[in-house]
């Protein structure tokens, strides 16, 4: 279950891999940053964010505006405003492809702030079980369709420093 997701293991960083993991809450006490959470629906992203970053970062998610038109533009505006105000921000969406993550990396760079990815690497089968369980408790409008998960999986590319991230942390259930 998503409750078992640990603090991230720092799998990649500029200059080579880091050993071990540091708790994200400790680093948040320093300079502002942008954290881009990456993972399929049902991976445990929101649970991880609530446990590790919600107390120190403004949480931005397109899920906060389920009926809004132009959610992507709204997210970009909110992220830019928060970063300009000197806040640490975490973006909690699937963010499956480099093309979808690029505007977020650009926003952090425009604000002169570091940006890191946290990849919640949960197996597809586990994500599907979680989504099915979640859908059973939601009204039709709030459900995640199977095609949505599979579409995100098709577009998914692991985040990398090549995209402009200063660091990529990997979180795996049970690790």
Given a cut of 90, whether residue 98 has pLDDT beyond it is yes
Total number of domains in the chain: 1
In a domain, 20, yes or no: no
The pLDDT tens digits of the residues spanning 64-77 come to: 666 667 878 889 99
Residue 157 lies in a domain: yes
**pTM, rounded to two decimals:** 0.79
Q: Which domain holds residue 62?
A: 2-13+31-171
**pLDDT at position 16, please?**
28
The H helix count followed by the E strand count for the chain is 6, 6
Measured distance between the N- and C-terminal CA atoms of the chain, rounded to whole angstroms: 12
Handedness of CA 86, 18, 106, 60 (dihedral sign): negative
Q: Is the pLDDT of residue 37 over 70?
A: yes
According to the model, what pLDDT value does residue 25 have?
40
Domain contains 21: no
Distance CA 125, CA 127 (A): 5
């Amino acid at each position: 279950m998503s409750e078992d997701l640990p603090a991230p293991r720092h799998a990649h960083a500029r200059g080579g891999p880091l050993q071990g993991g540091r708790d994200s809450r400790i680093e948040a006490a320093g300079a502002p940053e942008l954290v881009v959470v990456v993972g399929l629906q049902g991976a445990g992203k929101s649970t991880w964010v609530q446990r590790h970053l919600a107390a120190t970062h403004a949480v931005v998610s397109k899920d906060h505006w389920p009926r809004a038109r132009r959610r992507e533009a709204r997210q970009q505006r909110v992220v830019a405003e928060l970063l300009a105000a000197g806040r640490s921000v975490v973006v909690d969406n699937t963010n499956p492809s480099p093309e979808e993550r690029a505007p977020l990396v650009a926003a952090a760079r425009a604000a002169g702030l570091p940006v890191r990815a946290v990849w919640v690497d949960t197996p597809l089968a586990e994500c599907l079980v979680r989504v099915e369980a979640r859908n059973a408790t939601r009204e039709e409008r709030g459900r995640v369709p199977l095609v949505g998960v599979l579409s995100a999986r098709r577009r998914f590319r692991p985040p990398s420093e090549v995209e402009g991230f200063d660091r990529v942390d990997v979180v795996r259930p049970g690790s």
